[in-house]
Amino acid sequence: MERLVGKSAPEFTMNAVKGDASGFTEIKLGDYKGKWLVMFFYPLDFTFVCPTEITGFSRRAEEFRDLKAELLAVSCDSQYSHEAWINQKANEGGLGKIDFPIASDKTTEVSEKYGVQIKEEGISLRGLFIIDPEGTVKYSVVHDLNVGRSVDETLRVLKALQSGGMCALDWHEGDANL
């Protein structure tokens, strides 16, 4: 797989459900021009680790917006599955309402372009990409299905990228750049 960091983000157009399940929409990379985009892939709806990540990012969505960043979750499930998952109460295995859309990569084309597809299973690995306002991939992390991502680390990296300088190990907002 060719690296994505430092290159233009692969274009995409996907159907999605709004986070409050109020309807469907079409989402394109171009919709995020001029904003930072944190796009994260997850394997499947109605599973165990995935809702912890999605609801965790949702609880902190305002912090991302304060940094002029939008969130987008993506899986290979249909937008109808996403809608059902949002409409199901959290205490019954659902998500409940969230604060960003979930896109459907039913064709697996987008997960393939981003290098996170598990072809033989028709799902994606946990991949997270931070794309800058000009459409360049600035950060990516891809890992095993069993381990959830860190919202704190994602925010830390986003702030570091936005700082405009070189950031040392464990850099945090307010620290000097190198």
pLDDT single digits (tens) 127-159: 999 999 999 999 999 999 999 999 999 999 999
Tell whether the model's pLDDT for residue 91 goes beyond 90. Answer: no
User: Are 36 and 70 spatial neighbours (Cβ–Cβ below 8 Å)?
Assistant: yes
> Is 50 in the active site?
yes
Mean per-residue pLDDT, 95-121: 96
pLDDT for position 127: 97
CA separation, residue 24 to residues 27, 32, 58, 86, 165 (Å): 10, 17, 18, 12, 39
Catalytic, out of 4, 9, 29, 50: 50
User: pLDDT band at 110, cuts 50/70/90?
Assistant: very high
Domains of the chain by start residue, with CATH? 13-162 (3.40.30.10)
pTM: 0.96
* Three-class SS state of 126: strand
Among the listed residues 147, 151, 155, the one whose alpha carbon sits nearest the alpha carbon of residue 171: 155
* Three-class SS state of 82: helix
30 token code pair: 């171009």
β-pair partners for 27: 14
Give the CA count within 13 Å in the CB-facing half-sphere of 149.
Answer: 30
95 token code pair: 């998500």
β-pair partners for 130: 38, 139
Tell whether the model's pLDDT for residue 1 goes beyond 80. Answer: no
Whole-angstrom distance, CA of residue 41 vs CA of residue 122 = 13
pLDDT for position 103: 98
pLDDT for position 2: 82
5 token code pair: 């960091």
